Structure 1
Amino acid sequence: MATGRRFDGRAAIVTGGGGGLGLAIARRLADEGASVLLADMNIALAEQAAGELAETGATAIASRVDVTNGDSVEAMVTTSMTAFGRIDILVNSAGIGEQVSFLKQRSEDFERIVAVNLTGSYRCVRSVAPAMIAAGQGTVINISSVAGLTGISGRVGYGSSKHGVVGLTRTLAIELAPFGIRVNAVAPGPVDTAMVAQVHTETTRSTYTRNIPLARYGLPEEIAAAAAFLASDDASYITGHTLPVDGGFASTGAMFDPD
């Protein structure tokens, strides 16, 4: 439960906001006072989530977005500016992944993962940057992964895209700093979300858990807390950083085939 309202008067866009980590982050930002646009491919989910946030007294709206489509991203930004008149925070949480060995993965699936996770994040930052530059401030939170910090067998597409997100974060932090815009990333370890439930078998879960020093999967709320910290003025001198929130998994340097 949040203990303060660090985001009163601020507006945020959260992609992938219809569920999972995106919704948890949107909920945390709204709980601390932000007006939030929940953007998702599944507009029904986004509208349901926005409605639930609105019932708590938060200002929340929904927008359909396909982060692989430039016109769709621009429409999302226009919707946010029309509704809130500003964009202070962008959280790039939209993402996809799969568990498959390199030799079995189809090239089109690899390209689709990169298009959503990496190019989609780039496209969203590129579209919100003019509003943030005009305001002289802003913060971007990219969702990477421990798979973007170490090699994990069976995650070639996902891991490659998330390594790219770390590189994107560092480069944008340098280029956007003169405009008062901070860019950071969160690198979650295994977290109990619907997407993880679809990808991780019982064998996968037990193998991960044995390799996590805290010996458990994370909670979406724990990732949201880290994202909220990086988005807040409490992190005003932090940019270009990727924060692992993984129960210590990345520190082990574990590389394995969970199945």
Structure 2
Amino acid sequence: MKTALVTGAARGIGLATARQFLEQGWRVILLDRDVPALTEAAKGLDHGQPCICDVSRPEEVQAMLAEHFPDGTELHALVNNAGVADFGPIEETDFDRWRRVMETNLDGVFLMSQACTPALRAGRGAIVNIASISGLRASTLRVAYGTSKAGVMHLTQQQAVELGEYGVRANCVCPGPVATKLAMAVHSPEIIAAYHDALPLNRYGTEDEIAAMITFLCSEKASFVTGQIISVDGGFEATGIGLPALREEA
């Protein structure tokens, strides 16, 4: 049985990804730092194993590695999904706020990938890092978040280039607007309408649609795919300057 490790697995895209791996017959380690949420999420998931770990803390990552991946253990997929979203103006983003975003969104991806590399080499596995369309396009209030996600994209390509000779693939998924419970709770009707207008598919994506790309990239069907930055965004990145008003004139 193949093994996948999914970070940020207590909810949202991470949990949807873990469930899809399980449906496909994988064993899954669900990693998160939110103890109550992870405990609840793991209930009833056969072959799903919860693991409490803060990916931004090297000592916790090393403890996780020692427990789950002793020497020679194979890991076939690492999904670096854990992240924090903290939006605010540049002038109000002090260094502590900047570091809170970077330590999970970028440092965590580095720490987890580095720690799991021996197990990934043993299993000739795949890394999928979760970035965002905010790493592809600048936007207001996202100086730390967007920059962290841009860093994740480049880190992915570094991993692909260096680890490819060991049979380890690395790719990056950039979700567009996704209809998570949190997004639907905080996005105003005006924001929702604006996103719909900006996306050629005229709707938000779903957690399962993002998870489907992630599990595909970890599968044998993507065995020659590495170093890629893939937007799953309803066409947002492709529009360029394709403003809704311009499209309506066509």
The TM-score normalised by the length of structure 1 is 0.88
Inter-CA distance 110–212: structure 2 relative to 1 (3 Å threshold): same
The answer on whether the counterparts of 2:131 and 2:153 sit within 8 Å (CA) in structure 1 is yes
Cross-structure match for 2:144: 157
Quick one: which amino acid aligns to residue 162 of structure 2? Answer: E
Cross-structure match for 2:207: 220
Quick one: which amino acid aligns to residue 129 of structure 1? Answer: T
Q: 1:229 aligns with which of 196, 211, 216?
A: 216
Residues in 1 aligned to 2:203 and 2:91: alpha-carbon distance in whole angstroms: 30
Name the SS for the 1:51 alignment partner. coil
Q: CA deviation at 1:109?
A: 1.3
Q: 1:242 aligns with which of 225, 229, 233?
A: 229
Residues in 2 aligned to 1:136 and 1:85: alpha-carbon distance in whole angstroms: 8
Q: 1:142 aligns with which of 129, 134, 151?
A: 129
Matches within 5 A, 1:26-45: 26-45=18-37
Q: 2:113 aligns with which of 125, 128, 145?
A: 125
For the aligned residue pairs, the C-alpha RMSD in angstroms reads 2.0
Cross-structure match for 1:88: 76
Question: Which shifted more, 96-105 or 172-181?
Answer: 96-105
Cross-structure match for 1:207: 194
Q: CA deviation at 1:117?
A: 0.5
Inter-CA distance 178–99: structure 2 relative to 1 (3 Å threshold): same
Residues in 2 aligned to 1:72 and 1:79: alpha-carbon distance in whole angstroms: 11
Name the SS for the 1:140 alignment partner. strand
Q: What stretches of structure 1 move > 6 A for 4+ residues in a row?
A: none
Matched, 1:47 2:34: no
Name the SS for the 2:91 alignment partner. coil
Inter-CA distance 18–141: structure 2 relative to 1 (3 Å threshold): same
Task: Report Cα offsets for 1:203-233 as digits up to 9, x if no partner.
Answer: 3222222111111111000000000110001
Residues in 2 aligned to 1:98 and 1:203: alpha-carbon distance in whole angstroms: 21
Inter-CA distance 254–153: structure 2 relative to 1 (3 Å threshold): farther
Cross-structure match for 1:196: 183
Quick one: which amino acid aligns to residue 75 of structure 1? Answer: A
The answer on whether the counterparts of 1:152 and 1:254 sit within 8 Å (CA) in structure 2 is no
Task: Report Cα offsets for 1:172-218 as digits up to 9, x if no partner.
Answer: 10000011100001100010124434653333222222111111111
Residues in 2 aligned to 1:49 and 1:187: alpha-carbon distance in whole angstroms: 24
Give the total of aligned pairs. Answer: 242
The answer on whether the counterparts of 1:98 and 1:199 sit within 8 Å (CA) in structure 2 is no
Residues in 2 aligned to 1:107 and 1:118: alpha-carbon distance in whole angstroms: 15
Q: CA deviation at 1:85?
A: 4.3
The answer on whether the counterparts of 2:33 and 2:53 sit within 8 Å (CA) in structure 1 is yes
Residues in 1 aligned to 2:90 and 2:81: alpha-carbon distance in whole angstroms: 25
Matched, 1:110 2:75: no
Inter-CA distance 197–131: structure 2 relative to 1 (3 Å threshold): same
Q: 2:8 aligns with which of 1, 16, 25?
A: 16
The TM-score normalised by the length of structure 2 is 0.91
Name the SS for the 2:30 alignment partner. strand
The answer on whether the counterparts of 1:43 and 1:62 sit within 8 Å (CA) in structure 2 is no
